[in-house]
Amino acid sequence: MSDVDAPQPPHDAPLPAEAARPQPAPPEPARPIRSAQASPRENRLTRIARGEVVEPVVHAALAGQTHVLEVRELDLWYGMKQALFNISLGAPRGQVTALIGPSGCGKSTLLRCVNRMNDLVDSVRIRGDMLLNGDSIYAAGVDVIELRKRMGMVFQKPNPFPMSVFENVVYPLRVDGQRNRAVLDEVCEESLRSAALWEEVKDRLHESALSLSGGQQQRLCIARAIASDPEVLLLDEPCSALDPIATGKIEDLIGELRGGYSIIIVTHNMQQAARISDFTALLYLGRLVEYGPTADIFTRPQLSETQDYVTGRFG
Ligand SMILES: Nc1ncnc2c1ncn2[C@@H]1O[C@H](COP(=O)(O)OP(=O)(O)OP(=O)(O)O)[C@@H](O)[C@H]1O
Ligand SMILES: [Mg+2]
């Protein structure tokens, strides 16, 4: 356990990806308060809230993994406000990684960086990089459309398109120009089966997706997200609008997709994170606090602050 909060190396040297981007320099980060001023026993979350640089604790088990996604010293600003601070973490391939932390700590922001959805927000400035299976996501010249085809994203609120169930599922293939009906039929059935929805909709494929229940719509969105066989599946609180039965179905589905897919899921539900994920990262005010195997994070975390958060004694 790295419990010593050594002063960090300067973090303001531009990375190659940043140097290549034709963007104005991001605002200078507020000068961090160095940890030497704090008692090492003082609560880390209090120290983070004061603006101190507090080293995250990353469990040794992460080092032995092959990562589908690597986040490297990522900083993000919305205008003048910094929302992510020097995040570095790897998401193991074929496993489920949960991002947890209080509202506003940057979970969705981090997830949206993976498919560069934050590019759509004018005020956003990013420094650092992410690698998808070794390929830079933020290097100059990355084709964002092609990049997004390599990942699937599902949001808190189901967002089926106003078209039939069938057309929703095969949408990614249509965009790619696929017209072969046999291929489309096969992918549609396969994806709906994988999303545990086939039996419920096989006789309604040509009805509007908007006629499905909320839980069915969310599984439809997952079917659409996996139809193009993505390298990583990004789920942002996919069950928060669902009842326990629909939630159970999505959780079972995540369990079945594990192995074939690498999944990163944001959840506020601690029991859900404990049930379905292999690794868990706790974020707080834009900083990584502790990251390790889920069993360790929930039963024997290295930080008492993590213990307090996962047992509901904080926040
Ligand atoms: N488009 C935006 N413009 C400005 N600030 C934003 C924007 N989106 C998010 N933020 C800010 O960035 C910080 C992180 O927000 P984010 O939505 O990533 O948090 P979160 O951990 O996903 O929260 P929640 O659990 O409530 O969904 C917050 O302070 C938020 O106000
Ligand atoms: Mg969020």
- Tell me, yes or no, whether 144 lies in a domain: yes
Is the residue at 305 inside a domain?
Answer: yes
> Whose Cα sits closest to atom 17 in ligand 1?
108
What mean pLDDT is predicted for residues 240-258?
Answer: 88
Residue 83 maps to which CATH number? 3.40.50.300
- Evaluate whether residue 30 is within a structural domain: yes
Mean pLDDT, residues 284-305 taken together: 97
Q: Is residue 208 part of a domain?
A: no
**297 lies in a domain?**
yes
**Confidence band, pLDDT 50/70/90 cuts, at residue 19:** very low
74-83 residue pLDDT tens: 999 999 999 9
Site to substitute for ligand 1 among 74, 100, 108, most atoms within 8 A of C-beta: 108
Position 25 scores a pLDDT of 54
Residue with CA at minimum distance from ligand 1 atom 31: 104
What residues line ligand 1, using a CB cutoff of 6 Å?
Answer: 78, 83, 101, 103-109, 121
The pLDDT assigned to 245 comes to: 87
How confident is the model over 209-213, as a mean pLDDT? 96
Which of these ranges, 33-42, 152-161, 254-263, has the smallest mean pLDDT? 33-42
**What whole-number distance in Å separates Cα of residue 303 and Cα of residue 36?**
19
Judge whether 190 lies within some domain: no
Q: Is residue 222 part of a domain?
A: no
- DSSP-assigned letters across all residues of 229-296: --SEEEEESTTTTS-HHHHHHHHHHHHHHBTTBEEEEE-S-HHHHHHH-SEEEEEETTEEEEEEEHHH
Tell whether 302 is covered by a domain: yes
Tell me what the mean pLDDT of segment 264-277 comes to. 96
* Average pLDDT score, the chain: 88
pTM to 2 decimals?
Answer: 0.87
Residue 16 has pLDDT above 50, yes or no: no
Domain limits for position 138? 18-150+230-310
Which residue lies with its CA nearest to atom 12 of ligand 1?
83
How many structural domains is the chain composed of? 1
